[in-house]
Amino acid sequence: MRRPLSDLRPVYVVGIGLHPYQRPGETPYTALGVHAIRGALADAGIEWTDVESAYTGTATTAMALSRLMYRHLGSTGIPMVQVENASASGSTAVRQAAFEVAAGLADVSIAVGVDKPLNFTMPQGAAGARDLVGGRAAPFTHFALLADRYMHETGATPENFAQVAVKNSRNGALNPNAQRRKVRTLEDVLEPPQISGILTRLQCTPIGEGAAAAIIVSEDAIERLGIDRSRAVRISSSASQSEQVYDGENFDVALTKATTEQALGEAGIGPGDLDVVELHDAFTVEELLYVEAMGLCEPGHAAEALMSGEFDIGGRVAVSPSGGLLAMGHPTGPTGVGQICEITTQLRGEGGERQQPDARTGLAHMVGVGAVCVVHVLSRPA
Amino acid sequence: MRVAAHPELFDPDAESPTLRATRCASCGRVAFPPIAIGCDVCGALEEQLTPIAVEAAGVIHASATVHRHFGEPPTPFTIVEVRLDDGPIARGMGDPGSDGFSVGQRVAATWQVERVDDDGNDVVEPVFAAIEEVRS
């Protein structure tokens, strides 16, 4: 019988670390990853020798990259594995680490996301799967098509989408780990170059490099290692689903809706209980689609809620206080782990200038091309 | 002579473009692009997936003009999603001669010559263009 995470023993995020997301450069991925891991260990106040297993979310660097990175912390012989799930690779690494600890197979596991944008490969060629457009419809065109449809269905305007990038640029400017740290006006965002459909450059995520790490532990580990319980953030639920055949319904939305409902249900809460949300805003249209799919506002009213500040830091629910994929960036493997780092920071009340007041419950959401969706709900210490 | 850029997707001999799809004998799913190996709704075996021809005609579900693209064709060009009269939504190329597309607009495919091969054949693909509604 299928059981939710909450049926197993509780699991907590106790240490987080990041290497700032940045434009692709010469830094070895090993240095990016170790920087984030050392940060997470210091944050938790534990040693590398305390870590019993490692899951590495990665999709665009190279096969078998884990040990070449972890060895710089000392070769302890722990099990390690790469987790590839497209954009949701990091989220899936978190999920696997949480499961291992929740099941009692380990007390301390680490989920690390690390990537450099070196190898983007898609499976369609190997599958012999063709369509009429082939490589002429890049991901940004997929989302431009969704934007066109959304405008038709809701009356939204190109300016409404651009406002998402304005808000997230404001948040990203407050985040030292963000790739884009400049506050942008509506005029800036609407400025050419036009990429596809209504999408301009600043409405598309910058693909870069970086790393993120989250240490996930049991109650036993908190006790045994003397970890500060007041900064431990519980993972209340973990849900993941894959695309079904929806007969023309927007699959990104349908998948997000179903997976979020499962995650909220298994955490025993509703969308109205969320204080912070990090979602897959690789393109501006996605934020409007997903806040509706998650139930954060009524269908067709996302633009209105956005414009009235409901999704701002300090609003009803802060959406992408990190800056999201649009401003913090999307180095692929790290992105989902980075979301867990941001939610943990927010629920600890350590967000500084970008702190959502009295944040108690947060949700992290990623979709991965294919398509898959992974959603986690986190709760702050009592 | 006309030859197909992607013969598994359409029949170049038809006067106006006809798409190659499959219908699952078990669940009725009409799939375009055609699917092999097993049905993506019910998992029926390949023997249950019957090749059918569907008209390359329907209404615009969404469209987007692409301004940034590396390689062929040069930009701008338009990608359309068409709700085919036979059910599925097909993603295809908009006719470069069209003056934009709007959701709900009726379209049908015409042949466009992509290139001429070494034997002098026209290598074609279907592109969608607006058509007048037929009123009875």
Distance from CA of B62 to the nearest CA of A (A): 5
Q: What SS3 state is found at A204?
A: strand
Tens of pLDDT, residue by residue over A226-241, are: 999 999 999 999 999 9
Residue A186 has pLDDT above 70, yes or no: yes
Q: Which amino acid does the sequence have at A142?
A: H
Of residues B9, B63, B68, nearest to A148 (C-beta): B63
DSSP string, A257-318: HHHHHHHHHHHT--GGG-SEEE---SBHHHHHHHHHHTTSS-TT-HHHHHHTTTTSTTSSSE
Label residue A247 by pLDDT band (50, 70, 90).
confident
CA-nearest residue to B4 within chain A is A132
Q: What value does the mean pLDDT take over residues B70-76?
A: 88
Does residue B73 carry a pLDDT above 90?
no
What are the sequence ranges of the domains in chain B? 2-130
**Contact: B79, A137; criterion CB under 8 Å:** yes
* Cα–Cα dist B96/A48, whole Å: 59
Same fold, A5-120+207-233 and A135-205+235-379: yes
**How confident is the model at residue A245, as a pLDDT?**
92
Listed by start position, the domains of chain A span 5-120+207-233, 135-205+235-379
Q: Using one digit for the tens of pLDDT, what is the confidence trace for B74-103?
A: 999 999 999 999 989 999 999 998 888 999
Q: What pLDDT is attached to residue B136?
A: 46
pLDDT per residue as tens digits for the range B46-58: 999 999 999 999 9
pLDDT digits (tens, 9 = 90+) for A316-330: 999 999 999 999 999
Contact criterion met (CB below 8 Å) for A300 and A174: no
Q: What pLDDT is stored for residue B133 in this prediction?
A: 63
* Rounded distance between C-alpha atoms, residue A379 and residue A381, angstroms: 7
Instruction: Examine the pLDDT at A382 and tell me if it is beyond 80.
Output: no
Please list every residue in chain B whose beta carbon sits closer than 8 Å to the beta carbon of residue A247: 87
What is the average pLDDT score of chain A?
A: 97
Confidence grade of residue A293 (pLDDT, cut at 50, 70, 90): very high
When pLDDT is averaged across residues B25-36 and rounded to a whole number, the result is: 96
Architecture of domain A5-120+207-233: 3-Layer(aba) Sandwich (3.40)
CA distance linking residue A180 with residue A194, whole number of Å:
19
pLDDT (tens digit per residue) in A138-183: 999 999 999 999 999 999 999 999 999 999 999 999 999 999 999 9
* Cβ pair B82, B101 in contact under 8 A: no
Given this structure, which CATH class describes domain A135-205+235-379?
alpha beta
Cross-chain Cβ contact B92/A245 below 8 Å:
no
Answer yes or no: is pLDDT of B134 > 80.
Answer: no
* Closest CA in chain B for residue A152: B103
